[in-house]
Amino acid sequence: MSPAKRLFPLLCLFLLAACGRPEPEAGAELVVSVRPLALIAREIVGDEVPLRLLVQGGDPHHYAPNVSDRAALERARLVVWMGPQLEGVLAKQLALVPAERQLALLSSDGYEFQGASAADPHLWLRPRNAALIAAQIAERLAELQPQQAEQYRTRARDFSRAMANLQKVLDRALWAYRDVPIVVIHDAYGHFFGSAGVVTRPLSDSGKGGHGARALLQLQGVDDGCLFGEVPANDRDRQTADNLGLRYAALDPLADLLPADAGYRDLIEQLLAQARSCLGEIADATPAAARE
């Protein structure tokens, strides 16, 4: 057998191996489930990678991809989502996407849960957790695109430093309200308030709905606090607040109200402003330092 014929099978095996893990096409999208994850992902990919948001103005628990979204999932560079704990219906479609092209963030360890339920999936409401999310996105993209690996990792490190500073600012701002009674419609807001030592009292479990009678009875007699619901503001939550003798404000954990060019810092600053709109009305809980 000639040398050329002996080398041919080896060349075929090499080509097959190379085809087994193809790099994403240059124009392939980074697909994310909810907008806060898109804000974090944009910090890593900049404007070089097209980004597609799946859940827009809806409930991620019940979101089901349409035909266009299913096609996008099939050809995505990477799909970033929290996991079936949040996007339960979407999980069925993602079972068809190769494991190496999806990143289920809740399957990882290392997140901080102080003051929050360990079962609640809204991890992005805490800047330190956002930094961990960004690092995971950067690492997975670095595996898929080794030629851009250092760029992704550098951006993740820069974002992590920025989030450490943002967490300190947020904790200082919220610390002044640590003695104010705060009631929330579900456990998600513990991620936002908990790092500052602010205790939240949920009406229901992880936003699954229902203001339980037992929870309402336990909250009777709470003196001049805030009930935080979710945008858009609604009469049901407002009436619940009235019945409990609380003030009411709606927060925006999914960044639905932010402009198109907003960043992750804008989400945290907006949530803080929305929280202060209620907390600031309680006279003995608004020292000058808390307003700076």
Query: Residue 125's closest CA among 114, 136, 135?
Result: 114
Q: Which CATH class is domain 26-170?
A: alpha beta
Q: Hey, what CATH topology would domain 178-291 get?
A: Rossmann fold (3.40.50)
* pTM (two decimals): 0.85
Give the strands of the sheet with 78-81, arranged side by side.
51-53, 30-32, 78-81, 102-104
What is the Cα–Cα distance from 164 to 41, expressed in whole angstroms? 17
For position 2, what pLDDT does the model report?
A: 57
> Which three-class secondary structure state does DSSP give residue 95?
coil
Judged on CB neighbours under 10 Å (0-12, 13-18, 19+), 159 is buried
Cβ contact 173:272 at 8 Å: yes
Q: How far is CA 130 from the centre of its chain?
A: 7
In the chain, where the domains are located:
26-170, 178-291
Please list the ranges in the chain whose pLDDT falls under 70. 1-27, 204-223, 283-292
Position 81: which residue type?
A: W
Cβ contact 42:32 at 8 Å: no
